[in-house]
Amino acid sequence: MKTRILGKNGLETSEIGFGSMGLNYHRGPAKDRNEMISVVHSAIDSGITMYDTAEVYGPYTNEELVGDALFGRRDKVQIATKGGFKIDGLTNIPDSRPETLRHSLEGSLKRLKTDYIDLYYIHRIDQNVPIEEVAQTIQRFKKEGKIKHWGLSEAGAETIRRAHSVEPLAAVESEYSMWWRESELKIFQVLDELEIGLVAYSPLGRGFLTGKLDKNMSFSENDNRAGLPRFTKEAMEANQIVLDFIGQIAKEKNATPAQIALAWLLGQRPWIVPIPGTTKIERIKENNISAEIEFSEDEMQEINEVLENIKIVGDRYPESEKNKTGK
């Protein structure tokens, strides 16, 4: 697999990463642990090097699973994880105080069975702690050798600038896909200017853009899509127009809708790395093939123009969850 560079300091990773959250969190009943470890091993064998997790997924259990899956293969991968929440089992509140970040990082290192994190994100911005102070905390972690690079998740342009001025960011992690393009308007300019990468989570629209979710389906326990506005029956029915459009392109390119969604994303900027997740080995190969699909400038312009004129129904998160969600 080809590689891409995130940030000025040269974090080189596979051009498609692996979003680990759904292995046992927020995507239905957890599947067999050994089976999920085998999925991760297959991803490694396919050339995927970036594995994304977070302490809040579970909480903690996703990092534990990823740690077990990557054990013995640490030299072949980069681990990205996220901290900075006050986790009490009920609500997750952003907390970027030095002592909280220290506790988060030390816990992640233990669960992930490693002595360093390749890319450590602040999961959500804590409005009570200046981002410059957060960057100084990160500097201490880097001097200790416990993290190599850092990033912010779901941060605005001004916050990115302020953080980067103290300690250069390798990447910003934000939701980005054919049906959620706010990043283009809000942060692309600053990422271009400061040479910061974008790690795109939910690049397949939490499964919607694969075309495999039926508007009449019901989401099971431990599947957070049941509470997301875009996954009501009415919203899914209204947003079928997006799937129909992607399906047309897929036929022209002899590809699947998922491959088109990922190929489109890869074509937007050379510093974007999507992190689709899956619990199925066969999906890994399908996703990886998307990197081989190319669009001409004219094709990309035409696709983007159509997307800009499609009104997506439903927000991505309920209003009450927008700043404290763990995706």
Q: What is the mean pLDDT of residues 144-154?
A: 98
pLDDT of residue 323: 55
Structure tokens at 293: 């699909």
The dihedral through the CA atoms of 312, 314, 315, 317 has a sign that is negative
Mean pLDDT of the region 147-173: 98
pLDDT of residue 79: 98
Residue type, 180: W
Helix (H) or strand (E) holding 139: helix 131-143
pLDDT digits (tens, 9 = 90+) for 102-125: 999 999 999 999 999 999 999 999
Residue in 193, 130, 195 with CA at minimum distance from that of residue 169 = 195
Q: What percent of the chain has pLDDT over 70?
A: 98
The band of 233, judged by pLDDT with boundaries at 50, 70 and 90, is very high
- Per-residue pLDDT band for 257 (boundaries 50, 70, 90) equals very high
Active-site residue set: 57
Q: Which two structure tokens, joined as six digits, stand for 228?
A: 């997301």
Alpha-carbon span 271 to 183, nearest angstrom: 13
Q: Residue 283 pLDDT more than 60? A: yes
d(CA 4, CA 13): 6
Which residue reads 């699947």 in tokens? 256
The residues near 206 (Cβ < 8 Å, ≥ 6 apart) are 225, 228, 230, 231
- Enumerate domains of the chain plus CATH numbers: 3-321 (3.20.20.100)
Helix (H) or strand (E) segment spanning residue 262:
helix 257-266
Q: What is the pTM of this model?
A: 0.95
The residue type of 166 is V
Cα 131 to Cα 313: distance, rounded to the nearest angstrom: 33
CA dist 264 and 304 (Å) reads: 9
**What is the predicted pLDDT for the residue at 325?**
47
Instruction: List CB contacts of 145: < 8 A, sequence separation 6 or more.
Output: 115, 116
Per-residue pLDDT, 322: 64
Greatest CA separation for the chain: 54
pLDDT surpassing 90 at residue 247: yes
